[in-house]
Structure 1
Amino acid sequence: MSIEHTLGSPTSTVLVVAPMPAAPASAGNRKRLSLICSALQRAGFAVDFAYFAHEDQVYRRFGQHPPTDLAKMSTTFQRTFLIETQDIIPLKTRSPAFGIDEWGSTALDRFVSWYAEEYSDTVAILVNYVFLSRCLDHAPNMLKIIDTHDRFADRQLQYRPFRAEPNFYYTDSASEAAALDRADVVLAIQSEEAAHFAALTDRQVLLLPPMFPVRSQFSAPYGIRKIGFVGHGNDPNLFSIGKFAHEWAAGWTPDRPELRIAGEICNALGSLNLPGVSLLGYVDDLAAFYADTDLIVAPMLMGSGLKMKVAEALSYGVPVVGTEIGFEGFDAEAPAHKCAGVAAVKATILKLQSNPVALKALTEACAELLERFNAMSQQAEAELASVIKASIRGRSASVVPAAAFALSAASVESVGQSWPICVRSANSLLSDDPAHGQLLATERFGEDAALATQYSPERRRWFAGSTPPLEKQSSIGPVSVALSPEWVRGKRLTREIRESAAYAFRDILADWTTQCRCVGVSSKGFVLAVPMPSHLLTGTPAIAAFLIAADGAHAHELAIDGIAPLSLSPGYAFKASRLDLTPVPAIVKISCMGPASVVANGTVLFLTDDLIGRITIVPPPIRENIRP
């Protein structure tokens, strides 16, 4: 059911543009986005939602894959659009700060221009984050709104106490001011940031903290057995809960509460193994998690904006203890909400652990805090709605146009091969499909596709089924795809299924291609001299590799034993679709996971979290020793 049906017949549409998906709301910025969209819908506006797949690119480069549910978004909003980009988002800058448009995208600009012409009756555009503000210039005749989420001027200074480099956007005050000036209305999530933005721009600045509906009533625990933290895999969460986890584990005994950490942050924490600390990963049922948690911790040591994890826990009726930074924007008064650091958070929890009177007082303070916060949020929502409605007075009543594209029911397609199973749908979750098994890859549309097709959330998706095929597989062809984590990180499927899938995907479009020489062969594997993207020689990147035999009859999974720099160039051309892929000569040592009789010739599919490489081995093998 579309929102158009659930709201009756809305007469005005707001386009919401965001670099993160609105579902599932598994991170603070997603929760903020989802709640703002709900506020607009409650005010009587229809919402068109445009997901610019910025977050997907960034997190893939860190080996993380936060879930995206395009199917749910397609049933939540009047229309849902998916904008993919070939622009590479720079994660570092040599300048003191990023320029205001360095994280912008020509693909997003083109979409907004197309949308403005296609749906000229849309009354307002709301863009999330200042670094996407440039697209507002392509939306004539709409009220232009920026939801800032955070203050980004001088954000990098927060990292200095941690001796770390920021991995997210930051800029200077002049650039942030230039972004705000592109809007008619600026939204701030908390009062301190509202004052900051008001000092930078003469545009109207509205305070709009999100309103969290009460999901469960508060009930004071008699004691504390389990404490919890839910968070995304960003730096503020990583630094804060990482330090708190070590503090909590110090001196831990079984009679103390267990710290349970949930969400994408678990992937960022990696192999953290501490007494009294459990990593749960993603939790499908947040209500059950909170119901089984006595106290939530917000031991934040850095960050701006509003800590959505605090408001969410309060909405589920769970008391919270945290630092002053963790409660910024809430006007908190209780001492348990003003802890000076992680040691103070731990000490407060241990004092509360077996003190039902103090726990009751904290719970009552939390209930009052949420009530005050939601009352302020409700008033702010009404003010935003009145501003949007005032901007359209005098315009003739608009009629919501027909949908740009109609989403069809998921359909199984035959595209020249009987396996893997190809399904066309908007279902983008990385979980197993009950009917089709494990997701292998998702189609990406190039810029040559028709615009309405480009922006549809429907894609072909390929699944592994439950058993490996018996017959030889046809190629799915030169298709642009995004591979699922199964290839590099998950590896839950059997080697036989993975090899069959690699064979079917042997002609997919690669991000980089080159040739190489085989400079050593043994009964267990071989050694290649090859130009490779430079970043693959640093650290220990997760890699999957498959040899497509020269006779084109089969694929073998390979194990990468090591990559080392090579002083002499092997002399082969390196072609890449991305300007940030700089080739360097390397030696790659490879073992065969299959039969030892595999001959080192053919083509190697070289897969990392966000890149597909294709290496052609030039025959015949040259038996010489090249040492790094």
Structure 2
Amino acid sequence: MATEEKPAILVVTPMPAAPTSAGNRRRLSATCETLRRGGFAIDLAYLQHEDQVYRRFGQHPPTDAAAMGAAFDRVFSIPAATPIPLKTWTGGFAIDAWCPPELDDFVAWYFERSPDTCAIVVNYVFLSRCLNAVPKGVLRVIDTHDRFADRNLQYRPFRAEPNFFYTDRASEAVGLSRADMILAIQSAEADYFRGLVDRDVYLLPPVFAERAKFRAPGRLTRFGFIGHGNDPNLFSIGKFAHGWAASWRPDLPVLVIAGEICGSLNGLDLPGVQLAGYVDAVETFYAGVDAVVAPMLMGSGLKMKVAEALSLGRPVIGTRIAFEGFDTDHPAHRLEGVADTVAAVLSLHDDPDALATLTAACADLLARYNAKAAICEAAWLDAIPRRSARRASSPAARAPDVSTTVGAGIIVREECSLRSLPVADEDGCILVATENPSPATAREAGYPSERRRWFVSPMPDGSLPPSGPAPALPGGPVSLSPEWIHRRSLPRPVREAIAGSLGDAQADWRADGRLIGYEADGLTVVTCVPSFLVARSRATAAFLLGDGEAARELRLTGTAALARAPGLAFAATRGELNPVPASLTFEPLEIDGSASPITAARETLSHPKAVLFLSDDLVGLICLAPERNTRLEVQ
């Protein structure tokens, strides 16, 4: 007798499902686990929003494509070619400001090829426009995660603006109205959504099964906080850490902070506070602390860090905001701010009876929470219609396709695989660039998650002078890995060899330029460039490319906006790259060997070609016109 195939659901998300290093990823993972327990097969569509954002901040995106490929029936990666705005100076973002047209195209493409999929679950209301591309008869669900109307008001006490989406009530209602069903993570937000739109609203707090037994500590020696580097975490733990340090003595417990947030707390050197950095397994972190602190001063939704700590058997001390969505009356769960939370830790740290009472209250809280969550889960699963789905067989895992080439003193290792997480491979090569296909190319290939990646290392014998031409790096669109650019993690001759190989890469912006002179202190070029380059608001590496000559790394030492445009062409693939007429002054970096820096620059300039700019996720190119008179005055 043939086994009945599982009904299929498409889950659309702007963040990767792995690693689960942030609260929104843990929510996504928990919802997918609920669907699996309900007997559904899941196709995951990852709009590469977070990858784009991380690269724009000069960071490598923590995305594990291999883990996602193993966890879901099919995984589709949707290039986010349209830049997502991170700031708005109005009352809020338009509801579709963060939904690029590439996602609409994907959803239409998917349902043309998967007509038996019974439902779509879209994470976040700001991606709701893609539901307009869903055919009739398919259940449309929005998992809200949070309330986004007037979210900016929480930031006013901190004199800051959110770095995440927010909007107004009318816009949020428009987005939610596109769905048949709405998921809320906690009761107060479920009531808010019911008052906003006439749609079925289901409460779906994630189930956090007990993964470790509660054990009451006799004394606190180390208590911890682990989290993502978002604004609520940064504001809250930053203020708490300073408050704790002000009260700390050597006989008091140490506050241990871990997770991605540590990358945004570099330089935080306070007594009684330890930065543990990113941890590969949260279990290791929780096993190393006696209790957890959640001193949240802002935020909405459900605090996943609280539920996670409880599921791993650790008592939690936190503010009223941290425990929103949990049914608790223990005083250590209803604190009002930093001073109250510091006082609670000081009161509890050496009181075994009080710690035992708190631990018992936490165990009871988790049991009651999970019982309620299980009832909510069953109600939601019963409401999802089922029909048989035609499933495509998942591709078998295969070894990466690897090729290695050598030249110009470097080794280039090209790999086509799902391994998106590492910034270096097992041989110590540094990740330099990742293939970034256009939406049209991705559509033709079926939106695969596999990508070509290029890793580079110096020649093992340390001989960096050229040994033949530099190996070819990609000629199409790529996403740069920012670490080797910003941290200078490769030697200068290696960086120059890479730049020479990237000279034919598809540029995000391109301009004509005129060399107006070189002196002992550098080179000056008149051109039009993106405004960020004049403001020098992004870390940028520059390389001089000569016709037939090796690339030379330059240091941008001066920029000046010009009052009058020099009449030189400028083109960009991104609308936010606004051109500014400017003069740029460069100083060549120290050159190895007997030739002086300016002599080496003159050799390259004997056949001038271009200046290549590498910054975050951008490739820029100024094409230099031959100029006989190198001492022209800028008008």
**TM-score for both structures, normalised by structure 2:** 0.91
Q: Does 1:68 align with 2:63?
A: yes
In the alignment, which residue of structure 2 is the partner of 1:102?
97
Task: Select which of 114, 138, 159 maps to 2:155.
Answer: 159
1:10, 1:44 within 8 Å by CA — same for their partners in 2? no
After superposition, what is the alpha-carbon deviation per residue over 1:510-541, rounded to whole angstroms, capped at 9, x for unaligned? 11111333445344533333322113344642
2:518, 2:630 within 8 Å by CA — same for their partners in 1? no
Q: Distance in 2 between matches of 1:243 and 1:237?
A: 10
In the alignment, which residue of structure 2 is the partner of 1:346?
342
Q: Does 1:425 align with 2:425?
A: no
Question: What SS class does the counterpart of residue 156 from structure 1 fall into?
Answer: helix
Deviation at 1:199, TM superposition (A): 0.7
Change (3 A) 1:146 1:524: same
Deviation at 1:406, TM superposition (A): 6.2
Q: Does 1:117 align with 2:132?
A: no
1:407, 1:458 within 8 Å by CA — same for their partners in 2? no
Q: Distance in 2 between matches of 1:497 and 1:47?
A: 44
In the alignment, which residue of structure 1 is the partner of 2:600?
598
Question: What SS class does the counterpart of residue 422 from structure 2 fall into?
Answer: coil
Change (3 A) 1:558 1:360: farther
Q: Does 1:610 align with 2:617?
A: yes
Change (3 A) 1:278 1:607: farther
Q: Does 1:410 align with 2:400?
A: yes
Q: Does 1:456 align with 2:452?
A: no
Task: Select which of 389, 392, 396 maps to 1:398.
Answer: 389
Deviation at 1:64, TM superposition (A): 3.6
Question: What SS class does the counterpart of residue 569 from structure 1 fall into?
Answer: coil
**Letter matched to residue 535 of structure 1:** F
Question: What SS class does the counterpart of residue 309 from structure 2 fall into?
Answer: helix
Q: Distance in 2 between matches of 1:182 and 1:615?
A: 45
Q: Does 1:220 align with 2:216?
A: yes
Task: Select which of 602, 625, 630 maps to 1:622.
Answer: 630
Question: What SS class does the counterpart of residue 441 from structure 2 fall into?
Answer: coil
Q: How does 1:265-284 map to 2 (within 5 A)?
A: 265-284=261-280
In the alignment, which residue of structure 1 is the partner of 2:37?
42
Question: What SS class does the counterpart of residue 420 from structure 1 fall into?
Answer: strand
In the alignment, which residue of structure 1 is the partner of 2:594?
none
Unaligned runs of 5+ in 1: 1-7
Q: Distance in 2 between matches of 1:588 and 1:246?
A: 42
In the alignment, which residue of structure 2 is the partner of 1:262?
258
**Letter matched to residue 375 of structure 2:** Q
Higher mean Cα deviation, 122-131 or 330-339? 330-339
Task: Select which of 295, 300, 316 maps to 2:296.
Answer: 300
Change (3 A) 1:254 1:590: farther
Number of residue pairs aligned between Structure 1 and Structure 2: 613
2:92, 2:168 within 8 Å by CA — same for their partners in 1? yes
Higher mean Cα deviation, 444-453 or 419-428? 444-453
After superposition, what is the alpha-carbon deviation per residue over 1:484-512, rounded to whole angstroms, capped at 9, x for unaligned? 12233343222233222222222111111
Q: Does 1:505 align with 2:502?
A: yes
After superposition, what is the alpha-carbon deviation per residue over 1:316-345, rounded to whole angstroms, capped at 9, x for unaligned? 212211111111111222111111111211
Change (3 A) 1:486 1:31: same
Q: Distance in 1 between matches of 2:310 and 2:427?
A: 38
2:220, 2:291 within 8 Å by CA — same for their partners in 1? yes
Q: Distance in 2 between matches of 1:467 and 1:278?
A: 39
Q: How does 1:170-249 map to 2 (within 5 A)?
A: 170-249=166-245
After superposition, what is the alpha-carbon deviation per residue over 1:182-201, rounded to whole angstroms, capped at 9, x for unaligned? 11110000000000001112
Deviation at 1:436, TM superposition (A): 6.5
Deviation at 1:608, TM superposition (A): 1.6
- Bigger relative CO (Cα 8 Å, ≥ 6 apart): 2
**Letter matched to residue 50 of structure 1:** A
Deviation at 1:564, TM superposition (A): 4.1
2:114, 2:390 within 8 Å by CA — same for their partners in 1? no
Change (3 A) 1:313 1:530: farther
In the alignment, which residue of structure 2 is the partner of 1:446?
438
Change (3 A) 1:178 1:164: same
Q: Distance in 1 between matches of 2:134 and 2:209?
A: 32
Higher mean Cα deviation, 175-184 or 30-39? 175-184
Q: Distance in 2 between matches of 1:269 and 1:519?
A: 43
Change (3 A) 1:346 1:292: same
In the alignment, which residue of structure 2 is the partner of 1:20?
15
Change (3 A) 1:13 1:591: same
Higher mean Cα deviation, 532-541 or 67-76? 532-541
After superposition, what is the alpha-carbon deviation per residue over 1:4-42, rounded to whole angstroms, capped at 9, x for unaligned? xxxx86421111000000000000000100111111111
Q: Distance in 1 between matches of 2:621 and 2:92?
A: 35
In the alignment, which residue of structure 1 is the partner of 2:480?
483
Task: Select which of 356, 359, 374 maps to 1:360.
Answer: 356
Higher mean Cα deviation, 493-502 or 193-202? 493-502
Q: Distance in 2 between matches of 1:201 and 1:347?
A: 42
Task: Select which of 331, 336, 357 maps to 2:327.
Answer: 331
Q: Distance in 1 between matches of 2:180 and 2:582?
A: 53
Deviation at 1:625, TM superposition (A): 6.2
Change (3 A) 1:356 1:97: same
Across the aligned residues of Structure 1 and Structure 2, the Cα RMSD in angstroms comes to: 2.4
Q: Distance in 2 between matches of 1:265 and 1:99?
A: 29
Higher mean Cα deviation, 434-443 or 358-367? 434-443
**TM-score for both structures, normalised by structure 1:** 0.92
1:445, 1:454 within 8 Å by CA — same for their partners in 2? no
Q: Distance in 2 between matches of 1:561 and 1:533?
A: 17
After superposition, what is the alpha-carbon deviation per residue over 1:91-116, rounded to whole angstroms, capped at 9, x for unaligned? 23343222211111211111111111
Task: Select which of 565, 571, 578 maps to 1:575.
Answer: 571
Change (3 A) 1:360 1:127: same
Task: Select which of 49, 53, 56 maps to 1:58.
Answer: 53
Change (3 A) 1:454 1:277: farther
Question: What SS class does the counterpart of residue 299 from structure 2 fall into?
Answer: coil
Q: Distance in 1 between matches of 2:269 and 2:565?
A: 43
Q: Distance in 1 between matches of 2:533 and 2:447?
A: 32
Deviation at 1:414, TM superposition (A): 6.6
Change (3 A) 1:311 1:454: same
Question: What SS class does the counterpart of residue 504 from structure 2 fall into?
Answer: coil
Q: How does 1:504-523 map to 2 (within 5 A)?
A: 504-523=501-520
Deviation at 1:364, TM superposition (A): 1.5
After superposition, what is the alpha-carbon deviation per residue over 1:438-490, rounded to whole angstroms, capped at 9, x for unaligned? 21111011234262515100111111146377432143352111011223334
Change (3 A) 1:528 1:345: farther
Question: What SS class does the counterpart of residue 560 from structure 1 fall into?
Answer: strand
